[in-house]
Amino acid sequence: MQTNRLVIKKVLTNSMNWKLMILLPILSASAADIRLVDAKADVSGEWKGRQTRSLLAFNRQPQGMQALTRFGGLATNLREATGFFRVEKIGDRWWMIDPEGGRFIFAGVCSLKPESKLSAQEPFERLFGSKEVWTEKTLDLLRVHGFNGCGGFSDHELLRSSKAPLPYTITLGLMSGFGKKLSVTHAQAGHVGYENDVIPVFEPGFAAFCEEQCQQRLGAMKEDPWLVGVFSDNELPIRRDMLDRMLKHGGATQAAAEAFMAGKSQITDELRREFMLQVFDTYFHLTTKAIRAALPKHLCLGSRFHGPAKTVSGVWKAAGRWCDVISINYYDHWSPQKEHLRQWHEWSGKPCLITEFYVKGMDSGMANTSGAGWVVRTQADRGLFYQNFTLALLESKTCVGWHWFKYLDNDPANTQTDASNRDSNKGILNYRYEPYAPLLNAMRELNIHIYPLIQQLDAVHEAK
């Protein structure tokens, strides 16, 4: 038997859901598992070799069949089954626990939705013919490559309609919806912008708006075990001078800032940090209360943080008080920083979920001028980046999963899309629905080894 052989058996249950049994090799890392991959922070920069870990240097030995639950968690050493996803710290490692009690690491893809506009229209019609066919083929593609769920900005209704669904998430946009109602938002690259970068969390009506939206949009999912949880918003502005800005903003926002400053002589950095905590504590309290009223059994995944949040303790402390998992779109670094992961857990006391990351390949033929991700030479290099990034997350013990951004490349002919999604190679498929095989092969190699890797990495850690 070849040591890198993989066998996947598909077992249908009475409910037409999938169970998987995977023949996996045992992995043990060699000392020489580092290589240099040429990369640059943006397309105009200079190439520089980046230290990159991969599975290429792991020794493989045959192992028995690994059974998975129908939700994709480990079917051995089951934990308490509640019928819904939850999180649990076992020893010093955080896990998601799937509805059947299986330990689960969420390896997903964002923006899973059919694109049938402009230049992508002909390939979609020719390849799929209908959205229902697209749904089944897309879910099969994910399964074959070891992905076990659907990330943010996906067509959750279409994906959930499958007879063999995958775990999925929902992004609500509670603050962005309320801000739009107040006419204080505008489009920015990658996310919604707010007037003076101030979120109207103290304005009258926000709590009622959240309650109404959650009841309308989430009520029908109350008993759905395939729904992992809910993101309340995406990339809210985080300004260290939020206090200064709100003191000049007017309305209930300014009144809240003035009430905070009552009896205090002058603004200090310590007061700015305290007020930041108060702003986001209010936000997470109101949004989580509304979500839990509609979905008392599902996970609150918070607002997807981004760059500015990485080193702002107050937002993590606030999220940790109310959310089950803290979500962040993590760019800027070739490898996840151990100090970031340590601090996030120290501040919040909760596990994290990486809800966006990607890298762009120059061999895709795309200009790659938009977006936040790194640039590399080839699709094979994209695959090495994926392995390097996720290995560090598994090693941290505080991360319960990740979502690659995104399913499909930007369509350069679609000028109606967000400015950050115009001409870049972010997808696991190009905009003609053709897969990037070297990338997907590397993703599959890592994804199907998630649980054996955790076992090996924990054993190495304990031996030190």
- Mean pLDDT (the chain) is 90
Q: How far apart are CA 297 and CA 194, in angstroms?
A: 32
Mean pLDDT of 349-362: 98
Mean pLDDT of 354-376: 95
Q: Which residue's structure tokens are 């009475």?
A: 14
| Residue 120: predicted pLDDT | 53
Strands (E), 157-226: 168-171, 185-188, 191-194
Output DSSP code: residue 72: S
Q: How far apart are CA 211 and CA 216, in angstroms?
A: 9
Q: How far apart are CA 173 and CA 210, in angstroms?
A: 10
Q: How far is CA 77 from CA 14, 36, 81, in A?
A: 23, 39, 12
Q: Give 127-155 pLDDT, tens digit per residue.
A: 888 999 999 999 999 999 999 999 999 99
Q: How far apart are CA 273 and CA 411, in angstroms?
A: 41
For 366, list phi and psi in degrees, rounded to 5.
-95, 155
Pick the closest to residue 348 from 372, 332, 326 (CA basis). 326
CB neighbours of residue 407 within 10 Å: 24
Name the more confident of 191 and 33.
Answer: 191
Mean pLDDT of 184-197: 90
Residue 409 has pLDDT above 80, yes or no: yes
| Residue 94: predicted pLDDT | 98
Cα distance from N-terminal residue to C-terminal residue, the chain: 33
| Residue 39: predicted pLDDT | 98
CA angle centred on 23, ends 21 and 26, rounded to 5°: 130
Q: Give 289-303 pLDDT, tens digit per residue.
A: 999 999 999 999 999
Mean pLDDT of 375-388: 98
Residue 7 has pLDDT above 80, yes or no: no
> Which tokens belong to 101?
């009690």
What are the CB-based long-range contacts (under 8 Å, 24+) for 80-86? 82/297, 83/225, 83/297, 84/225, 84/297, 84/298, 85/167, 85/225, 85/227, 85/228, 85/229, 85/298, 85/299, 86/299, 86/324
CB 87 within 8 Å of CB 352: no
Q: How far is CA 344 from the centre of its chain?
A: 16
CB 23 within 8 Å of CB 5: yes
> Which tokens belong to 189?
């690259």
| Residue 17: predicted pLDDT | 41
Residues 6+ apart with CB under 8 A from 77: 103
Mean pLDDT of 35-41: 95
Name the more confident of 422 and 254.
Answer: 254
Mean pLDDT of 333-343: 97
Residue 158 has pLDDT above 70, yes or no: yes
Strands (E), 227-267: 227-231
| Residue 420: predicted pLDDT | 74
CB neighbours of residue 239 within 10 Å: 17
> Which tokens belong to 448?
């199907």
| Residue 28: predicted pLDDT | 58
Confidence band (pLDDT; 50, 70, 90) for 23?
Answer: low
| Residue 34: predicted pLDDT | 84
| Residue 15: predicted pLDDT | 32
Share of the chain above pLDDT 70, in %: 89
Which domains, and CATH codes, for the chain?
Answer: 106-463 (3.20.20.80)
Confidence band (pLDDT; 50, 70, 90) for 368?
Answer: very high
| Residue 1: predicted pLDDT | 29
Which helix (H) or strand (E) segment is 106 a member of? Answer: strand 106-109
Output DSSP code: residue 363: G
Residue 33 has pLDDT above 90, yes or no: no
Q: Give 308-317 pLDDT, tens digit per residue.
A: 999 999 999 9
| Residue 22: predicted pLDDT | 54
